[in-house]
Amino acid sequence: MNPFTKHPNEVGETYWSHLWFALGWSRKLALLSIISFIHSIFPFLFEDTVSSRLTRLYEDALKRAPAFNPNQKR
C-alpha cells in the first residue's frame, strides 16, 4: 500500500483531508508553544490558556476519529 495514503485511509480520510487537518493542528500547537513561552517569562499572562486549549484539542480529537480513542471501536 502507498505510504502516503495508508495512515489517512486507516483513520477514514483522504490524503488531502488528513494533510489539512494535520496542518491545522500544527498551526494550533505552534501558537500554543509561543503562548507558553510568553507565559514562562510573564507568568501573569495566559495563566490557563495552554492547558485549557490542549484539553479542548484532545476532546475534539476523541470525537473526531476512533484512531485517537483506544476505547472506541473503529
- Residue 1 pLDDT: 79
Global pTM value:
0.75
For the record, the C-alpha cell of 8 comes out as 489517512
Q: pLDDT at residue 39 above 80?
A: yes
CA distance 29 to 25: 6
Q: Which residue has the cell 473526531?
A: 64
- Residue 60 pLDDT: 84
Percent of the chain predicted with pLDDT > 70: 86
Query: Is the separation of the CB atoms in 17 and 8 below 8 Å?
Result: yes
**Which one is predicted more confidently, 5 or 73?**
5
Phi–psi pair at 67, nearest 5 degrees: -60, -25
The residue ranges of every structural domain in the chain are: 23-74
Confidence band of 67 (pLDDT split at 50, 70, 90): low
